[in-house]
Amino acid sequence: MSHVDDFIVMLSAADASERARGAWELGNLGPAAADAAGALAQVLHEEPIRDVATWALVKIGKPAAGALVNCLGSECPAVRRAAISALWKIASEGDAVIPAALAGVLSDTEPEVRAYAAWALGEMGRISASATGALIGALTDVQPAVRRHAATALGRIGAPTPAVARALAASLDDGVSEVRQAVAGALQELAGGDHTGVLGCALAGLDALAHRGPRRERPVFRAAAGAIRANAPQLRSLPLRSSEAAFVDTLPIPATGPRPRAMNLPIPSAGEEHAET
């Protein structure tokens, strides 16, 4: 038997440390251990060696993509998260399979898995362009963490299409501070592109929040609005507050008062992110 076959056999050993060593050795072989991808994917279900098996699959690279995509259908959320962790690291320019697979995970039943998929798509940047539609949908997810990572991902993908601009503009009235700020950050990041003008639809919300939003958030919105104007000459003549009135009625906060108020949004049951009241 080859070394690869020997190490695959080790993955079935009774001793967990021996199984971990088999995964480690396969990872050290890199792409040469492509035939072991399926066996390594199987041991992702074993918590004691999940991390080293995930590392080994990343080291194998693209040949492991098929086995990892299959793991996204596992009944175990931890396995699905491990597969996401490996997939975004092996994605490369022109890859269609991995972005599509992760976009599908945005409808996962587990909030943490959905949030991790949105984050991973953002880490992949423009490679995830084909997932833009799914990320736009994730901006209305019931969980704030998913919405926040989806907004950040849209900014990092860097494709300010009218659909993306409208979706982000609508999300400025999110009832959760972290989400609103992520949306503003995405708009600011997109403002550096050649099509910044399409982001003009977000100026009303940004202007209103820059002047009437929670005080600690205002610099974020002001910076985003300034970046859009700076990169879109046709918008520079629009006075900073001229668009504010049209947005006041949709603010997630009262016209006066120090704290935002969530509007018709579910409150997460746990986690660091929460709607302010």
Distance CA 216, CA 206 (A): 14
Distance CA 74, CA 17 (A): 24
Domain ranges for the chain: 160-269
Query: So what's the pLDDT on residue 198?
Result: 86
Nearest residue to 222 via CA among 210, 231, 233: 210
Q: What is the mean pLDDT of each run of 10 residues along the chain (277 residues)?
A: 88 95 97 97 95 97 96 97 97 91 97 98 96 98 98 94 94 95 95 77 91 92 91 61 39 32 30 41
Query: So what's the pLDDT on residue 140?
Result: 97
* Alpha-carbon distances, residue 234 vs 123, 199, 200 (angstroms): 32, 11, 9
Q: pTM for this structure?
A: 0.82
* Alpha-carbon distances, residue 199 vs 18, 43, 90, 190 (angstroms): 55, 46, 32, 8
